[in-house]
Amino acid sequence: TETGCLSIIVLGASGDLAKKKTFPALFNLYQQGFLQLNDVHIFGYSRTQLCDDELRERIKGYLPVENKVSSNVFNFLQLIKYVSGAYDSPEGFQELDKAISEHETSKKSHEGSSRRLFYLALPPSVYPQVCKMIKIFCTNKSGLSGWTRVVFEKPFGKDLASAEELSAQIGELFDEPQIYRIDHYLGKELVQNLLVLRFANRFFLPLWNRDNISNVQIVFREDFGTEGRGGYFDQYGIIRDIIQNHLLQIFCLVAMEKPVSTKPEHIRDEKVKVLQSVNPIRDEDVVLGQYRGYKDDPTVPDDSVTPTFATVVLHIHNERWEGVPFILKAGKALNSRKAEIRVQFKDVPGDIFKSSKQGRNEFVIRLQPSEAMYMKLTVKQPGLEMTAAQSELDLSYRQRYQEVVIPEAYERLILDTIKGDQQHFVRRDELKAAWEIFTPLLHRIDEGDLQPQGYEPGSRGPAEADELLEKAGYVQTHGYIWIPPTL
């Protein structure tokens, strides 16, 4: 591990994302001692005129401090300094550079290192100009060894052309190893587990293919609407907000081939390949929805046709997956909040138990809430009778790993940016391949060729989506519900 001077610069420091995610994640890292290994300073930059203490006060309210040491809060906040300025202002960024350099060259600082991590908690429209400012005014010119890295939040473009343009603009200023495109789903425990699960278990190796698997669902549901984010959301819609990034990343990890090694580039190579093997999306593979009441938000236009729900079935053209539908489904204002991967196996051939009535084998990975993996399998109904019934092998994390606190996604990912590990970040060619899949569909939606169906808030979404699921071959098990164990 590197030691020495580390500067973390949060641009957009007074905004929502910084307050809710970035600073709390930094605080958690601080609490666990990760930042103390370094001589760390944190800088906040945004347009709002604030003094250091005003920013600290704003951040304080969002820090997760239950059962934790309050002196840590104070010490953490003291690390934070604030500089205000515009996002295209040379003066602002010169001042920022001065503040960073002061601490890099202070006596306390370890000699000979300047590591600068810029975190852009900003709207993408300002990415190019901010990157330019960072490059011109804030990359270390003192000859000290170290690095400059830049962390970007989504949305990274709106379609293939805009994403490529953005990539090109940023690519002129920074090299790919300096660029960290965050997809926070890649920081979730069970998403990170997929690689191990798939490639370290003999159980799965022979089964994970078209011979045995009937269909795969990757599902994201939220039980609330776009509350307060209607203006942003309406520009993007659920496909750009959730499916093109979060669900597609999960899709890659479920469907890709085994990488040569666990090196980040080897893993990302495989992700790109499977994305490139996805067939063009046909209209009949899509159901869109918009919940009733979405347009009541004053920041949403009255005639908006932006989907808040979508089911999209992807088909992969390769030897492993030909003919297996991958059903990506995401929706807001539904009847529950959860994210899961559901791998459904084919029926048992020559079944003598009529077990298909009990339902098929399924392997479910629940990302949230209550992380778990469970395998639905058919067993003899315990007791005197000789009937088959559906049961499960259940690995519920809260029960199995009682001592472990599962880290927040952002906490892990920020730590990776400090360590320089790009495995859980989206590479430029991966981003391009992801946009290539969805851009034609998105353009058709934007042009009004595909219309969303209305659905009631708090429902399962449009009925057409369940029909599509059935058409894709998914067989629902009736009368079986998995209940997470309680401690």
Give the residues lining the site for ligand BG6 (CB under 6 A). 222, 241, 339
Distance of CA 329 to the CA centre of its chain: 15
Query: Which CB sits closer to ligand BG6, 138 or 166?
Result: 166
- Greatest pairwise CA separation for the chain in angstroms: 82
266 C-beta neighbours (distance < 10 Å), count? 13
Query: Which CB sits closer to ligand BG6, 39 or 222?
Result: 222
246 is catalytic: yes
| Exposed/middle/buried for residue 187 (C-beta within 10 Å: 0-12, 13-18, 19+) | buried
Contact partners, residue 233, CB within 8 Å, separation at least 6:
226, 241, 300, 306, 308
Which amino acid would we find at residue 162?
S
Query: Which CB sits closer to ligand BG6, 241 or 411?
Result: 241
Q: How far is the CB of 17 from ligand BG6 (least distance, A)?
A: 10
Q: How far is the CB of 39 from ligand BG6 (least distance, A)?
A: 32
Structure tokens at 58: 């704003």
Distance of CA 313 to the CA centre of its chain: 20
| Exposed/middle/buried for residue 229 (C-beta within 10 Å: 0-12, 13-18, 19+) | middle
Q: How far is the CB of 78 from ligand BG6 (least distance, A)?
A: 29
Omega of the bond leading into 369 within 30 degrees of 0 (cis): yes
Q: Which DSSP symbol is given to 423?
A: T
Q: How far apart are CA 402 and CA 371, in angstroms?
A: 12
Query: Which CB sits closer to ligand BG6, 4 or 187?
Result: 187
Structure tokens at 463: 């009925």
Beta bridge partners of 43: 9, 81
Structure tokens at 380: 């003899």
Distance of CA 253 to the CA centre of its chain: 13
Helix (H) or strand (E) holding 312: strand 309-314
Q: How far is the CB of 332 from ligand BG6 (least distance, A)?
A: 7
Query: Which CB sits closer to ligand BG6, 132 or 424?
Result: 424
Q: Which DSSP symbol is given to 138?
A: S
Query: Which CB sits closer to ligand BG6, 60 or 338?
Result: 338
Query: Which CB sits closer to ligand BG6, 335 or 387?
Result: 335
Structure tokens at 480: 């079986």
Q: How far is the CB of 154 from ligand BG6 (least distance, A)?
A: 7
Q: How far apart are CA 385 and CA 312, in angstroms?
A: 43
Structure tokens at 263: 């090196």
The angle at the Cα of 417, spanning 199 to 11, to the nearest 5 degrees, equals 140
265 C-beta neighbours (distance < 10 Å), count? 13
Q: How far apart are CA 484 and CA 293, in angstroms?
A: 32
Q: Which of 103, 184, 246, 315 is catalytic?
A: 246
Query: Which CB sits closer to ligand BG6, 241 or 270?
Result: 241
413 C-beta neighbours (distance < 10 Å), count? 22
Q: How far apart are CA 438 and CA 160, in angstroms?
A: 8
Query: Which CB sits closer to ligand BG6, 241 or 297?
Result: 241
Which amino acids are annotated catalytic? 246
